[in-house]
Structure 1
């Protein structure tokens, strides 16, 4: 798929990963349309692009077919990053999760089919889609076994992309992400730790037993890998894991965050159990051999990525 200089649609482009992607697409001289309903964000991180006329912003929902279709004039490539991303909310309200993540995907694909837009890149999920995998590192060939409605919605979306590629000649890429961290993110374990420590610097509650062990990746590497894959793919339906080859425990992250915040004598407590919440995948490390075979590998170590993110949180929301 050609990216540089193309007219592209980014759903969820005002959000965490989406806004970083938009930055890179602007650098690549793309004609960018961003579709976002701003339910969990604002236009803060893309506002400069809007003000300078570098991108077009449409406030709208992927569940609204007419709005989606109106964004596809002369589009050559869709980056579908809009989603209900909270695993815990998917457990408490699976119908809401399905409506956004699966019905939203159907709207995107149908609008593409009716407007002869042939290329789509989808932000999927590694850990939640594979579930309690026996094979670690987990390759793309491992069968999806989601343990949350969120993971199931990502698996279902991938199957629809596969079907549309086979039936209607689309070219699709599903990017199965590890835990992506970095500036602009307002969810996840590191953000949770920062918020708790800001409120009470002498104690930190950790969900689960702290032994959950997962792979984390800086958002800059995530976007770089995503675009590298996109530019290499030409036809059919393709799946790639994107993550780091390192993994760390939640306890390790807690100690690193505490150290980065220059705190001492912080008392750790635990809610207990192997999972931090229902649907949590306690062990997750993705195999990225397929990505490396395509000529790309991570550039930032997990420790550096965590420190960079905590530094941004302090700069953005204040020191403790």
Structure 2
């Protein structure tokens, strides 16, 4: 791995943790550029880091290829970490072009800027949603057919295809990480965040989207960053795809119980809304085969249930929650 990174989506949930960690992990101290248009977040996640001369913030849209090219010019031996994306998987249900713009066109913009400027390596945040309803559980990277059931999944799969094609046409290296559910402090979306918001508003009832039996894998954001950096240092050139997450699964009702416990609430009733899917395009079961990344020497130190509990504690601390 190089010591210098341009992180698209650098002010976001995963991006802010990456820019916090990357300067300490490079082979030499180097510049980290956090590139973000702030459409989904603020700079608050890494505000204390802005005094570090190794970090520079650029407010710009990843679809502004000319601006991104200008930023990347001269970065021949360094890496683009492409994390810019929508944080709301459900938005594409109403705007069918949204995820195409965010995922596919955004990735093409990054690749065009790389072609015009210098970087040869891109690390990309993909998703379990590319598998759709998986035919194999636990699901390995080569499981197919890839048949996304959401526009978000379709957008991520289109981005993967663009990365693969450009690797073969232009000699780029792309390391694609299909994340499980990444959780931790500074989250402004997701089931744990949503449960806390709902319970803060009403403490005797919790609305649960779906039947509560949906089960997925969860891991901490700092461990996600460590997995990206560790695996990328060993994958080598070319196009590579890796699942990244925790083995096993945690159900939505189990998450509700953990959040309720961490908030110190008693007698909370669960109100389930819907069937096996929480919303159109929701995949009820996400369980990964992590053999490949484990063979590279990385596994998440914190299991899924503890990751959820740790995330809940961090989010509650951020909002100054006082247990009743």
Please state which band the TM-score falls in when normalised by the shorter chain. Answer: over 0.9
Q: Secondary structure at the match of 2:90?
A: helix
CA contact (8 A) 1:213 1:248 kept: yes
How far apart, CA to CA, are the structure 1 residues paired with 2:101 and 2:165?
19
Could you tell me the TM-score, scaled by structure 1's length?
0.96
Quote how far apart the aligned CAs of 1:147 are.
0.4
**Runs of 4+ residues over 3 Å off in structure 1:** none
Which residue of the partner structure matches residue 48 of structure 2?
Answer: 48
Alignment match, 1:197: 199
> Deviation per CA, 1:145-204, whole angstroms, max 9, x where unpaired?
110010001000001100011010001100000001111111111111000000001110
- Give, in whole Å, the separation in 1 of the partners of 2:91 and 2:309: 28
Residue 8 of structure 1 is matched in structure 2 by: 5
Indicate if the aligned counterparts of 1:140 and 1:239 stay in contact, CA closer than 8 A: yes
CA distance in structure 2 between the partners assigned to 1:79 and 1:175 by the alignment: 11
- The answer on whether the counterparts of 2:135 and 2:143 sit within 8 Å (CA) in structure 1 is no
Unpaired stretches in structure 1, ≥5 consecutive residues: none
Correspondence for 1:18:
15
* Stretches of structure 2 lacking an aligned partner (at least 5 in a row): none
Distance 2:310 2:250 in 1: 16
- Count how many residue pairs are aligned between Structure 1 and Structure 2: 316
State the shift of 1:73 in Å: 2.3
Distance 1:245 1:96 in 2: 31
Distance 2:63 2:286 in 1: 31
Aligned to 1:318: 320
How far residue 54 of structure 1 moved from its aligned partner, in angstroms, is 2.5
The aligned counterpart of 1:250 is: 252
C-alpha distance in structure 1 between counterparts of 2:151 and 2:242, whole Å: 21
Question: Could you say which residue in structure 2 is the equivalent of 1:295?
Answer: 297
* One of 99, 116, 119 as aligned partner of 1:117: 119
Question: What is the root-mean-square deviation of aligned Cα atoms in Å?
Answer: 1.1
1:165 aligns with 2:167: yes
236-245 or 53-62: which moved more? 53-62
Q: Distance in 2 between matches of 1:96 and 1:134?
A: 27
247-256 or 22-31: bigger deviation: 22-31
Residues of 2 paired with 1:222 and 1:60: CA distance? 25
User: Who is 1:67 aligned against?
Assistant: 67
Report if aligned partners of 1:215, 1:245 keep a CA contact under 8 Å in 2.
Answer: yes
Are the counterparts in 2 of residues 85 and 150 from structure 1 also a CA contact under 8 Å? no
CA contact (8 A) 1:7 1:74 kept: no
Residue in 2 that maps onto 1:131 = 132
Aligned equivalent of 1:142: 143
Residues 72, 118 of structure 2: 8 Å contact kept: no
Q: Secondary structure at the match of 2:160?
A: helix
Distance across 2 between alignment mates of 1:22 and 1:73 = 20
* Worse-superposed segment, 160-169 or 83-92: 83-92
Contact 1:208/1:272 (<8 A) preserved: yes
- Matched residue, 1:155: 157
* Structure 1: distance between partners of 2:30 and 2:152: 31
**Partner residue, 1:207:** 209
The CA distance in 2 between the partners of 1:266 and 1:256, in whole Å, is: 12
Instruction: Map 1:26-37 onto structure 2 (within 5 A).
Output: 26-28=23-25, 29-37=29-37
| Alignment-derived partner of residue 287 in structure 2 | 285
Task: Tell me by how many angstroms 1:44 deviates.
Answer: 1.0
Judged with a 3 Å threshold, the aligned counterparts in structure 2 of structure 1 residues 48 and 319 are, in CA distance, closer, same or farther, namely closer
Q: Deviations over 1:292-313 (max 9, x none)?
A: 0111111001222112111111
> Given the two structures, how large is their TM-score scaled by the length of structure 2?
0.95
Structure 1 residue 99 displacement after superposition:
1.2
